[in-house]
Chains A and B, each alone.
Chain A
């Protein structure tokens, strides 16, 4: 096992079927997605030694579709950020074709962006969370990293759809993802929120404008109609996300007491001290401060939590209004100076993911397109975001751009 990259690597790749839509596709997971009998520690000492007792629905469906599971890669503790993630490295080293990365702040898109891959976060509720060792149930879902949108769509198609083990998914089956067309007629309007400009230095704005400008030109098939749109209060997404996510994380982590699995403190005069000592030894500093924050809102300032929930609903409906005019939104994945892979504190983490987390707060599908918006050496990544359950349209638009870029490369 390559322990620099892998948390768990089976002796031979796990393949249940040789037939199906994903036949032979090598898939990498992270150790927060249950694969029966695999070490599933979600990157935390709190789950040290925990082996999954069942397959996650996504894993079971990928296996049925013929996929081949090659291992699970290191991840940031409990999936908050990408500090310590090795997924992109393992994909680049050829260990897998598609990576499944839990996306709660933008982890799948950011990992992809940093490594020059396509990264996708599906609509909330499209992919089952059963078997996902989650941290923030209302924001997170399994994301995908792959060389192109079509392969993401194929993997999504195989694992998406209602699951009797996850009642929080919409009961009505969303429209099938379907094969993503390489080229499709009809202009798509793409809106770019002008508020984003406040976050970016001049060089980055130029890079994004240039990328969007090219997409508007005829060379991208029928071309996209790029418009500037208005999304006031953009910074509120981050505030609302942080308050709600920290509260949900505090509840999710309540079960990590070190009694049945994970790190268990040896000292302690009674059960209460044992819990406290185990938890203080098990969690890293970043998760601890996140949990403290959540506990603060739970126990001391519930009103602010309620306000954050109200704010979230308002922001979601503001985005819905925006989609009435422009069916897709575009914005960069990352800020040029942030270093998400090195973010230590909650503040650094939230700053680094400020442009990706709105899709998590609102449960929207979002695709990271690499290598179209470069600010000097930095690939800012371009996100396409669509309305809830418009995953097929987002991936189709992405595939058009991908095809065009490939064409450019071949010239």
Chain B
């Protein structure tokens, strides 16, 4: 069966958990490093031993507020923690501390460009803080299945972003997540990576006949670990629900799991909704206007504004400006390099074409390398001055990632200087032409492709250092005069 999904409009909302990169857990001083050896980062509070009392971390509140501001939310004057009651081995105290009745922030939004190229503002209902639960590890001991509990993650600080049901397509959901991720990363409050589990998105999806207004029963889909999976899972779920409706089967409220291998969703359980009772031990958070203003001052220029400014100030094309503003460290690197007299367009091209791919291949971020904007700008100047050619510059750039030496020094030491000297280039060209009389004849018979072949050979003979412009001039002159 292949239902006509155009008959229906999809209503999509997201619930996104983001792990804050605060130094400690939310209610104790244990390091917030869930990846350490199991149960290393624990204490009576996060193990919830009798007699322990939670102590709210000021740093976590600060980072959470930064995240809320980046999502354009209004910070509540008073927010408070509730006990979300449920029993499961990953939560041995029987409730999770979460802000249910009085969330930290409300009424935010994220702007995206929709599929038709028009701007769309997607609403955020609220953002609340909560503690993460322990991690269950399922293994076997001989033939007996066993489950182990790792408390390193128990009590890790999270924010949960709950959107309005404003999205209408998998594309919009994906764009929302990309923009949210970029903005949150900009504030420095989170690494925000779905692949690494520091960002987890659940989707709520319902369908209604196109043109109607009612909100129908929704289905929750979990277990997507990349933004693409979110899009795929929503697309699948829209199709599945459309089939249900076509068969006149009722859609029931429940939770489904996305299976990334089979690319389908399967039912998991009824959607959970336990009680939430105010916690008597964690005092309410009362927002001090002066403190809040201080946090607001820490908020950096956001990527969309930055892209606009890069177009206006540096004459970047829209796609270049977008690429240069996606990650805060790269945007600041770009701008610093440009201030060192690098040509904006050239800097952007080299960052997109060479710096970013090199970092990706090495699994590093800029701060992991020795590359500075000053050295990067100096390298681009060497290219402009024809003291090094593009191919050699790529080699030099790779070395600059690991060396604090200025590019001039790397060029000199490695002998990467461009050969522009006519005598040396002519000698190389003459040697090659003498070795390949047949190809010279082919050129003279009108096969102009041979020019590229000779360029390659000559460049190789110069160990990649020949000034390509001069080389081509000499080669053409020699061939034409032969």
Interface positions of A (Cβ within 8 A of B): 34, 40, 42, 47, 50, 52-54, 56, 129-134, 137-138, 164-168, 247-248, 250-251, 253-255, 257, 259-260, 271-272, 275, 298-299, 302, 305, 309
Contacts and interface: CB of A to CB of B under 8 A. Distances in A.
B53 A255 contact: no
B327 to A, nearest CB: 37
Contacts of B92: 255, 257, 259-260
Contacts, number: 84
B60 to A, nearest CB: 13
B48 interface: yes
8 contacts: A130-B52, A138-B280, A164-B55, A166-B281, A167-B56, A247-B277, A248-B280, A254-B87
Nearest to A140: B280
Given A40-B50, A56-B51, A247-B277, A254 B283 contact: no
Q: Identify whether the interface residues of A are mostly helix, strand, loop, or mixed.
A: loop
B89 A251 contact: no
A168 B44 CA distance: 18
B457 interface: no
B97 to A, nearest CB: 11
A254 B51 contact: no
Contacts of A40: 50-51
Contacts of B56: 167
Given A259-B92, A298-B85, A251 B277 contact: yes
Interface string B278-299: 1011110000000000000000
A164 B51 CA distance: 15
B85 A251 contact: yes
A248 to B, nearest CB: 6
Nearest to B86: A254
B51 A34 contact: yes
A326 to B, nearest CB: 29
B35 interface: no
B282 A251 contact: no
B27 to A, nearest CB: 9
Contact of A255 (B50, B280, B282): B50
Interface string B29-62: 0000000000000001001111111111000000
A168 B281 contact: yes
A42 B44 CA distance: 17
Contacts of A272: 87
Given A165-B53, A168-B283, A299-B275, A251 B44 contact: no
A47 B51 contact: no
A309 B279 CA distance: 13
Contacts of A53: 44, 49
A272 B86 CA distance: 12
B277 A271 contact: no
A56 B53 CA distance: 11
A130 B51 contact: yes
B94 A167 contact: no
